[in-house]
Amino acid sequence: MKKLLAVLALGALTASPALAADTLVVYSAGPKPLSAGLAKAFEAKTGTKVELFQATSGKVMARYQAEKANPHVDVLISASWGHAITLDKAGELLAYTSANAAKVPASLKTGTYVAQGAAALSIAYNTKSGLPQPKSWSDLTKAAYKDQITMPDPAASGTALTLLQGLVVKDEAGTWDLFSHLKENGMIVPGANNAALTPVLQGAKGVVFGAVDYIAMGAAAKGESIEVIYPDDGTVLAPRPLMIPKSAKNVEGAKAFIDFVLTPEGQEMVAAQFLLPSRTDVKAKRPGYDELSIIEFDQAKAAEEAAAAKEKFASIMAK
């Protein structure tokens, strides 16, 4: 009785609970303009109604998990490549290779998932802070940057974890050393990506170690005094996977959506957010693959040691 009352009362506000075959359910990480834009454009193009749930990658994955008894989602888009690796390992992803993925580099696609685009990890620094412009990761251990550094927590941020793993693969001992010195230099780890960026924007801190580049670039475009630096000693890419779970109801629609995201039109929307489009033939609005010094490493293998890496990092950063 109560259910009925509630459902009736909110009729105007509800989406229809009965999903017809020409509806596509997409759970996507941000940024909102991108996910909403892709959904709208796809709708306009194909007439398929898109139901979009947009949240952080973590909440997207949590909802997917919780719904397993009665799954709804057709397309999952995360900001963390590690999510795709884990789901694939558990055999939960549908194999699909889009025709439009031909121009996507091998490191950004597999038989079951492909990148929508990628962010690169960078150093973001506040140009009003009076600090010297850093050139490499290890620059931040210098005295000039004492108590001015933030870093997103690899335990909470998939992109920070990717950076950590990449640096460890490149030079394990050196990397842990680096973090010890950073800790001594007063680096704090205040939470996920935004908890690290906001203090720098506000001027409370001067520089972010491991900032997600497109977010900082977006802020700079809005007039914030922030600049993105790619360190000389190389950085990692954080590709954002497009996934179709095996439990998807509208498989054809899901495939069509992924195809769409990988069209030049879709990729231009990606580029508009300062992300690196996964197709190499679409021009990016920021440094592209050729201009970045990327640390390549086997992300799947690194995923197995992820827990250990997080723990070691946490122990170095603990008081």
Partner 1 sequence: MPDLAKTEGGQSLRLALFLFSTTILTVIVGLPVLAIVLYALFPHFNELSLAEPFSKLLPSLSDPRLIGATANSLRLSVSVTVLSAVIAVPLAYLRARIAPGLGKAWDAGFLIPFLIPPYIGSLAWMQLLQRNGFVEQMLGFNLADGLYSFPGIATVMALHLFPLIYFTTSRAFAVIGTRYGDVAKVFGGRPLPVFFRISLPMVLPALLSSGLIVFILTIEEFGTPEILGRRFGFEVMVTAIHAKFSDWPIDLSGASVLCLILILIAFIAYRFHHKMSARFQTAIDNQSVDARPAPLSPPVQAAIFAVFGAVFVLAVAAPVGTIAISACMDTISGGVTWDNLSFRNIEGLFDSGSDALGAMLTSLTLAVLAAVLTGAIALVVAFTVVRLRSKATVFLDFLSILPNSIPGMAVAVGLILTWNMAFWPVTPYNTAAILLLAYLCLMMPYPVRMITAALRQLPKSLDDAAYISGAGELTVVLRILAPLLMPSALAAGFIVFAVSTRELVSSLMLAPPGVETVATFVFRQFDQGSINSAMAMSLVTIIVSGSIIAFGQRLQGKASK
Residues at the interface with partner 1 (CB under 8 A)? 2-4, 6-7, 9-10, 13-15, 17, 25, 30-32, 51-56, 58-59, 61-63, 65-70, 72, 80, 82-83, 86, 126, 128, 153, 155-156, 158, 188-191, 194-195, 197-199, 201-205, 215, 218-219, 222-226, 318-319
Residue 301, burial from CB neighbour count under 10 angstroms (0-12, 13-18, 19+): exposed
Residue closer to partner 1 by CB (options 115, 303) is 303
Could you give the CA distance from residue 90 to residue 114 in angstroms, rounded to a whole number? 17
Residue closer to partner 1 by CB (options 65, 91) is 65
The distance of closest approach from Cβ of residue 280 to partner 1 in the complex, given in angstroms and rounded to an integer, is 27
Residue closer to partner 1 by CB (options 80, 100) is 80
The distance of closest approach from Cβ of residue 53 to partner 1 in the complex, given in angstroms and rounded to an integer, is 5
Is residue 78 within 8 A of residue 60, CB to CB? The reply is yes
* Residues in a beta bridge with 126: 226
Closest CA to 34 of 284, 269, 283, 274: 269
- φ and ψ at 77, to 5 degrees? -125, 120
Could you give the CA distance from residue 263 to residue 256 in angstroms, rounded to a whole number? 11
Residue closer to partner 1 by CB (options 65, 143) is 65
The distance of closest approach from Cβ of residue 81 to partner 1 in the complex, given in angstroms and rounded to an integer, is 11
DSSP structure class, residue 179: H
The distance of closest approach from Cβ of residue 164 to partner 1 in the complex, given in angstroms and rounded to an integer, is 13
Amino acid making up residue 220: A
Residue closer to partner 1 by CB (options 217, 244) is 217
DSSP states along 264-316: HHHHHHHHHTTPEESSTTS--SS--TTTS-B----HHHHHHTHHHHHHHHHHH
Could you give the CA distance from residue 295 to residue 236 in angstroms, rounded to a whole number? 5
User: Which 3 state secondary structure label does DSSP give 195?
Assistant: helix
Closest CA to 164 of 310, 292, 66: 310
The distance of closest approach from Cβ of residue 250 to partner 1 in the complex, given in angstroms and rounded to an integer, is 14
The distance of closest approach from Cβ of residue 99 to partner 1 in the complex, given in angstroms and rounded to an integer, is 28
Residue 172, burial from CB neighbour count under 10 angstroms (0-12, 13-18, 19+): exposed
The distance of closest approach from Cβ of residue 103 to partner 1 in the complex, given in angstroms and rounded to an integer, is 29
The distance of closest approach from Cβ of residue 65 to partner 1 in the complex, given in angstroms and rounded to an integer, is 6
Residue closer to partner 1 by CB (options 100, 250) is 250
Residue closer to partner 1 by CB (options 188, 271) is 188
Residue closer to partner 1 by CB (options 63, 170) is 63
SS (H, E, C) 130-159: CCCCCCCHHHHHCHHHCCCEECCCCCCCHH
